[in-house]
Amino acid sequence: MIKLSEINSHNVRRVYRRALKYYLGRFIEKAGFKITRNYKYPEANINLLQLGIRFLAASKRGMTVIQIGAFDGELCDPLRLSLRDPNISILFVEPQKAPFNALIRAYGGRSNSFFENSAISEVDGQTEMFVPEGGASPQASLTRNHLLRFGLKPSSANVIKVNSICVSTLLRKHGINAVDVLQIDTEGWDYRILMQFFSSGCSPSIINLETLHLTRVERIDLRLQLRTRGYQYQDYGFDTFAIRTDLLEEQR
C-alpha cells in the first residue's frame, strides 16, 4: 500500500523535473537552439525537387533547368532522375575540370544539354577555388575556411584557378530568358548566387538550394526574400525548396 507521503514526494519530484526541463529549454532557446525528442524532430524522406519538376512537367511541354555546382552529375545529384526526360533542357555549371569532363561524357549526347566550365562569382574572369587534398571534390569552395566544416585544415587545401562568370553574363551567353528550375549546390555561395539571379530580373519557377552552410543572416534574409518575391518554401534535409505561388494558383 502506497503511503500518502510517498505520493506527495513523488509528485514534488515530478514537478521539479518538469520545471527544470522548462527553464533549461528557455535558456537553450535564447542561444538559438531547441530541445526536442528525436522522434519529434521533422524528418523529410522525399525529393521535393523531383516532385516539383513532375508538377511543372504536367503543365509544360518543355522546361529549362540550370544546375549550379553540378559536379559529375552522379554523386548526390538530386536532378539525376530528371535528366532522363528529353523535354528538359539543362545547363550544367561546374568549375572543376575533371567532374566537368565527366558531365560531358555522361550527358553530352543529349541534344538539349549545355555546359559551362565556370564558377559563379561577382565578376567575369578567373577566381581561386579551394579543393581538399586528393583532387576534385564536391566539397570544393570559393571560401578557404569552408573546409573547416569537414574537419579539413584550410592550410592544406589545394588552390586552383578556375573560370568565373556572373549570373547576368551566364544567362546572356546561353540565351536564357526564363528559368523553370534552378538548382544550386556551391558549398556556401548558394545565397549569394540566388541573389544574383533575382538582381538580374530572373525569378525561377522552382528553386532548390543547399542552405546547410549559410550564415544566420543569410538564412533569415533568404526566407524574407522568398516570401516578398511570392514564393512558398520548405526547408528539408540540407536544402530549401521554393515554388512560385502564382504557379500553384494557376492549377486551381
| Residue range 44-64, pLDDT digits in tens | 778 889 889 988 988 888 899
Model confidence over 212-242: pLDDT tens digits?
A: 999 999 999 999 999 999 999 999 989 999 9
Answer yes or no: is 244 within a domain.
yes
Q: Tell me what pLDDT residue 252 has.
A: 55
Answer yes or no: is 151 within a domain.
no
Q: Tell me what pLDDT residue 154 has.
A: 67
Model confidence over 3-17: pLDDT tens digits?
A: 445 556 667 677 777
Distance of alpha carbon 139 from alpha carbon 132, whole angstroms: 7
Answer yes or no: is 134 within a domain.
no
Q: Tell me what pLDDT residue 1 has.
A: 47
Model confidence over 142-196: pLDDT tens digits?
A: 988 887 777 777 677 888 999 999 999 999 999 999 999 999 999 999 999 999 9
Answer yes or no: is 160 within a domain.
no
- How many structural domains comprise the chain? 2
Find the angle CA(184)-CA(186)-CA(192) to the nearest 5 degrees. Answer: 75
pLDDT-derived band of residue 40, with 50, 70 and 90 as boundaries? Answer: confident
Q: Are residues 30 and 111 in the same domain?
A: no
Q: Are residues 172 and 239 in the same domain?
A: yes
Classify residue 251 as exposed, middle or buried by CB count within 10 Å of its CB (0-12, 13-18, 19+). exposed
Percent of the chain with pLDDT over 90: 52
Answer yes or no: is 236 within a domain.
yes
Domain that holds residue 76: 48-120+166-250
User: What is the pTM assigned to this prediction?
Assistant: 0.85
Answer yes or no: is 180 within a domain.
yes
Indicate the residue type of 97.
Answer: K
Q: What is the CATH number of the domain that holds 53?
A: 3.40.50.150
Q: Are residues 97 and 174 in the same domain?
A: yes
Q: Are residues 102 and 179 in the same domain?
A: yes
Answer yes or no: is 148 within a domain.
no
